[in-house]
Amino acid sequence: MTGQVRTFKPEPLTIGSTTVSPGDRARTQLDLVELADGTRIHVPVIVINGVNPGPRIYLGAAIHGDEVNGVAILSQALGEIDPAALAGSIVCVPVQHPLAFHADHRIPLSQFMKSPLDQAPIDAWSCFPGNPTGNLAERVAATLFGLIRECSCAIDIHTPTRGGRYVPIAILPPRTLGEAAEAAAWLADQFAPGYVMKTNSGMYVSSGILCVEASKGGIPSFTFEIGEGGQLEQEMIDEGARCVRNALIGLGMIRGERRLPAINYVLRDFLGIRARRGGLLYTMATLGAAVKRGDLLGRIVDIFGDTVETVVAPEPGVFVRATTLSTVSTGERVATLGLL
Ligand SMILES: [Zn+2]
């Protein structure tokens, strides 16, 4: 069913100054910016060029610098790919924002602390398609978009920032984008993470977001969230690698059987639940589980040991994102449900 995305004949692929012939793989880089001391920052790129016709898939991780699960997912999933048996090609950017990754933080913290005004906007993820003469975030987005627009489809891997943990969930671009959104939904189905979000509102489907702008440009794409920010979780890495391989199999790029999860929730919206009180957060529900209205999600206990808030599900749904911070203040998110 590769008719869902564009296919390419085998041909040499040039990324920056590196040309990769069909049947080869290479690690290369694209020049990004120069720091004050003359250090040059590059975007790392892995190219695996297949010998048979097929789609060209873009795979990216760590556009937020503390979202390291995706980096390991991509190296694990792509480590076994043999270009001599690959149909199509893979363009992979395991660390999409090297300066944020250096900071092990969602944003490039050192740059932000030094010149906060020049660093606005700070989040490259929401600056697509970017601007090659803009600020750092806009240049990161423009550099990545230059790769994405040459591909057939794209998957952008995230975790929450530190203090949050997601189930493996594919978040689709808005349905209003038509054919590309339909193809993205098809690709997410092949990917088979077990949780798929089809919302038409909120941050994930806003203009400027990587997968939204790529899909607008005719490159079907979705966001994939998995696991906890700032953590390397082998169980999640295995899950993510399974999903990436599923996508490659579904696209006809590699041979094999897709491995499907035991559950498959298709969700229509997120519902973030925020604390009314401050204190220690005890999460009581099981991440990934379906909950009924009124089910206990968590408890906020003040520093004297008294329960000051009992957090319950206001609607039925699936518990898709947990807060892993040990404390919350009024207004902070305690849990997120995916609504069925
Ligand atoms: Zn992220």
pLDDT of residue 38: 97
pLDDT of residue 32: 97
> CB under 8 Å to 118, separation ≥6 — which residues?
135
* Cα-to-centroid distance, 308 and ligand 1 (Å): 31
> CB under 8 Å to 201, separation ≥6 — which residues?
269
Q: Lay out the sheet containing 279-283: strands in order across.
A: 307-312, 296-301, 279-283, 327-328
* Cα-to-centroid distance, 305 and ligand 1 (Å): 34
pLDDT of residue 1: 45
Entry pTM: 0.97
Q: What is the pLDDT along the chain (340 residues), one digit of tens a residue?
A: 456 899 999 999 999 999 999 999 999 999 999 999 999 999 999 999 999 999 999 999 999 999 999 999 999 999 989 999 999 999 999 999 999 999 999 999 999 999 999 999 999 999 999 999 999 999 999 999 999 999 999 999 999 999 999 999 999 999 999 999 999 999 999 999 999 999 999 999 999 999 999 999 999 999 999 999 999 999 999 999 999 999 999 999 999 999 999 999 999 999 999 999 999 999 999 999 999 999 999 999 999 999 999 999 999 999 999 999 999 999 999 999 999 9
Separation of alpha carbons 208 and 199, rounded Å: 16
* Cα-to-centroid distance, 313 and ligand 1 (Å): 25
Identity of the residue numbered 178: G
pLDDT of residue 4: 83
Q: DSSP labels for 288-336?
A: T-EE-TT-EEEEEE-TTS-EEEEEE-SS-EEEEEEE--SEE-TTSEEEE
* Cα-to-centroid distance, 199 and ligand 1 (Å): 17
* Cα-to-centroid distance, 24 and ligand 1 (Å): 31
* Cα-to-centroid distance, 80 and ligand 1 (Å): 26
26, containing H or E segment: strand 25-34
* Cα-to-centroid distance, 114 and ligand 1 (Å): 23
* Cα-to-centroid distance, 66 and ligand 1 (Å): 8
Contact 287, 159 (CB under 8 A): no
